[in-house]
Amino acid sequence: MLVDLKRQPETAFLRDCHSQPLQQTLMDLETAFSNFFAKRAKYPRFKARKITQHSLRFPQGVVVVDERTISVPKIGLMQAIIHRPLMGIAKGATIKQDATGAWWVVFVCHIDRPDVPMTADRPVGIDVGLESFTTLSTGEKTAPPKFYRHSQKKLARAQRKLSRAQKGSNNRLKAKKRVARLHKKISNQRVDWLHKHALGIVRRFDMVCIEDLTIKGLVKTKLAKSFNDAALSTFMQRLQEKAEWHGRRVVKVGRFYASSKTCHVCHSKTALTLADRVWTCPTCCTTHDRDGNAAINILHEGLRLLAVGTTESQNAAGDGVNPAKRW
Ligand SMILES: [Zn+2]
């Protein structure tokens, strides 16, 4: 259909573009539809050519020429700030514009990673949650980052200015960019924090046991703002990537495993409400910190799964791979 569309006068603009990004876009559309039919996503929406955040993907042909130049098919040489040298073989590139108007080039590189033998010498269990972002089985707690809350006043001011500005005016455009820049800053801060937090854990431990949460169910509660802020699912992804990279193991413990209400000393179960932060086991009289106890249980369950040898198959059967991201 693409060839035909290029011939028709109202869609002739497609000819301005290199053929490969167009094909990639169609593949994205296919992914969107298969996600819709598999009930993973909503029905795909149309996006106008003029207002969408621009993005195009080249499976090949984007080349770094020197520290200041890249070469893009059909466009030619372009100035770029290359913030670090490419590793491995560049397989493809995505060129996109963010809401602040800046253009980015993201390379996909294939890298031969040396095989690191996996051990379970230094295992850790992690309980993730709202009050404490992560609680390690060592008892260590990390508070959730609140970058959004910190910038809330500034953001509100910028948004007020935007809503007061006259439609179509230059001032409105400026105000819009200001809001976008603030959002970008918050998201940068969050990403940075998540990367560092995940890396810190992966560096210190060889094996990470973590609860396999369905985040979606939790976000809908009224704690949504701080929870979104904490970005747990992104953290899980980062953790998994970094573990893979450093030859560490991540063991996911099933989400129906009762990690909070089981006493890690005597394994008896107690009914708890979400408000019970500290509780005493009625059977063995041990006083537990809710999250710390859960983390220890997750560690034990993870070690058990590893001993039984079910973790590999569990990983393979997990719903992890998103075709769009795997590209
Ligand atoms: Zn007990």
Distance from residue 269's CA to the centre of ligand 1 (Å): 8
Based on the residue annotation, tell me whether 127 is a catalytic residue of this protein. yes
pLDDT for res 205: 94
The per-residue pLDDT for 230 is: 58
Residue entry with tokens 């537990």: 288
Looking at residue 227, what is its pLDDT?
Answer: 54
Positive or negative, the Cα torsion across 16, 21, 23, 26? negative
Cα(90)–Cα(59) distance, integer angstroms: 10
Distance 134 CA to ligand 1 centre (A): 23
Q: Which fold has domain 123-145+189-307?
A: Nucleotidyltransferase; domain 5 (3.30.420)
Question: What pLDDT does 315 receive?
Answer: 44
- Of 127, 241, 244, 289, the active-site residue reads 127
Q: Pick the catalytic residue: 4, 16, 67, 211? A: 211
Name the catalytic one among 212, 289, 291, 319: 291
Q: Which residues, in sequence order, are bridge partners of residue 134? A: 128, 142
Q: ∠ CA 155-160-165 to the nearest 5 degrees?
A: 125
pLDDT for the residue 100: 85
The pLDDT assigned to 253 comes to 86
261 CA distance to ligand 1 middle (Å): 10
| Distance of CA 191 from the midpoint of ligand 1 (Å) | 39
DSSP string over 145-198: P-HHHHHHHHHHHHHHHHHHSPTT-HHHHHHHHHHHHHHHHHHHHHHHHHHHHH
Task: Give 126 Cα–ligand 1 centroid separation in angstroms.
Answer: 20
319 flagged as catalytic: no
Predicted pLDDT at 103: 92
* Per-residue pLDDT at 313: 41
| Res 113: pLDDT | 76
Q: Output the CA 296–ligand 1 centroid distance in Å.
A: 13
Which residues of the chain fall below pLDDT 50?
216, 312-327
The Å distance, Cα 41 to ligand 1 centre, comes to: 43
The token pair at 33 is 């539809």
Distance from C-alpha of 126 to C-alpha of 142, rounded to nearest angstrom = 11
What's the pTM value of the predicted model, to 2 decimals? Answer: 0.75
Residue ranges covered by each domain of the chain? 1-45, 49-112, 123-145+189-307
C-alpha 213 to ligand 1 mean position (Å): 25
Q: How many Å is the Cα radius of gyration of the chain?
A: 24
Q: How far apart are CA 134 and CA 137, in angstroms?
A: 10
**Ligand 1 centre distance from Cα of residue 272 (Å):** 14
Q: Is 13 exposed, middle or buried (0-12, 13-18, 19+ CB in 10 A)?
A: exposed
- The Å distance, Cα 45 to ligand 1 centre, comes to 53
Residues 155-187 as b/e (b if ≥16 CB within 10 A, e otherwise) read beebeebbeebeeeeeebeebbbbbbbbbeebe
User: What's the gap in Å between 278 CA and the centre of ligand 1?
Assistant: 13
